[in-house]
Homo-oligomer: A and B are copies of this chain.
C-alpha cells in the first residue's frame, strides 16, 4: 500500500464565502469559511478531483504529513501509490461547518458579534454540509467530482451528495455508513451529549468565555464513542480481562487494561487533542438528523432514485454501530433503481473502526474500484 514517493508537507487553505448559506434549521450563515487541504494535481480537464468527507471527530487533514509531523487521519489509504492514488487524483478534504479545526464553527468568530460563536453556532445537517462543500467545488473550478468518498458520517455526506447533486459526482463510495440512525444510535449520542451538557464546566456552551472547557463530559462522550467503534470480539482479543497491575487491587483505580485504554482515549481527546465540546454536540446532532428518505415519504428507494452516480458500498462484519444490515438497506434501495452498485461485506474484527485500518480484502476491493474510476477518467480524456 505504501510507496517511496516522498510526500510534500501538507498545508491547509481557506475559502471565505460571503454568499449566505440558508440552513435546514431555518437559520442562515451570512458568511463562513471552510478550511481544506488538497493533495495531487487537478488535471487540465478538472476531471480527476475526489472529495473526501470526514466523520465525527475527523478534519480536513486526511492525508500526508503536516508541518507538525502529524499524519492525516486516512494516511494509509490516501497518497502517492496508495489506494486513493494522489499521483492520479486531485484529492480534496475540508473541515465540516461546525467543526473546530479551522472552518466556521463554535470556536471561530461570529462576524455579527465579534465574539466566538460558542453555542450560538447554528445546528448544521448533512444537507448543509453538502451545500457548503459544493461552494468549495465551484471555487476549485471542478464541474463534477470523479468520486466522493466517506466512511461513517462521511459516507452519509456522500449519500446526500448523490441525492442532492446527482450530476456533480461520477462515483459515490460509502463505507461503514447507514441511511439513518437507529433509536439505539440516537440513544448513544444522547448519553454523550448529556455527559457534555451536564458537566458544570459546560456553562450552557459558553465555557470559553468562562476560561474553561467541559473536559470531564467530553472525555466521557469519547469513552462511550470508542466503546461503540470497537467490537466485543476485538475488545476481547485485544484486552480480554487482562489486569493492569498483574493482580487485582480491589479498589477504584484501574484494574483491567480495557479501563486504562478507555480512560486514556477520553482524556487525550478532551485535553491533548483539545476537541471542542460544542462541535461534538453539533456533529452528533447532524448524525441524528440525517435521514434522506424522510424527504421522500420515508422511502429510501425513492430518495436514491435521484442518484446518477455509480456506487461502491462497503460494510464490516463486526461493526455493530452501523452493521452490514444498514449497508444492505442502502444497496437494496440502489438495486430498486437498477443503479450501478458494487457491495463488499468485509470480514473484520475491528468493529466500526475497521474502515480506517489495514485489511487486505477492504484494500483490494477499494483499490480495484479506484482503478475503475481512474480508467473511466482516462476514457473521458480520450473522448475529450
Residues on A facing B (Cβ under 8 Å): 24-26, 123, 180-184, 186-188, 190-191, 193-195, 197-200, 216, 219-220, 223-224, 227, 230, 232, 235-236, 238-241, 248, 250-252, 255-256, 258-259, 262-263, 266, 281, 285, 288-289, 291
Most buried by B among A197, A239, A256, A291: A256
Query: Closest B-chain residue to A216, C-beta based?
Result: B198
Query: Closest B-chain residue to A190, C-beta based?
Result: B259
- Residues of B close to A241: CB separation below 8 A: 180-181, 183, 186, 291
A25-B250, A191-B262 known; A184 and B220 CB under 8 Å? no
Q: Is the CB of B183 within 8 A of A227?
A: no
- Residues of B close to A186: CB separation below 8 A: 241, 256, 258-259
Copies of this chain, complex-wide, total 2
- Residues of B close to A219: CB separation below 8 A: 194, 198
Q: How far is the CA of A297 from the CA of B91 in the complex (A)?
A: 55
- Residues of B close to A184: CB separation below 8 A: 227, 230, 232, 235-236
A191-B227, A194-B219, A288-B255 known; A235 and B266 CB under 8 Å? no
Q: Is the CB of B252 within 8 A of A285?
A: yes
23 examples of A-B residue contacts, CB within 8 angstroms: A24-B250, A123-B250, A180-B241, A182-B232, A186-B258, A187-B227, A188-B227, A190-B223, A190-B256, A190-B258, A190-B262, A190-B263, A191-B223, A191-B227, A195-B195, A195-B220, A197-B252, A198-B216, A200-B200, A241-B291, A248-B289, A250-B289, A256-B288
Q: How far is the CA of A251 from the CA of B197 in the complex (A)?
A: 13
- Residues of B close to A194: CB separation below 8 A: 219-220, 223, 263, 266
Query: Closest B-chain residue to A240, C-beta based?
Result: B183
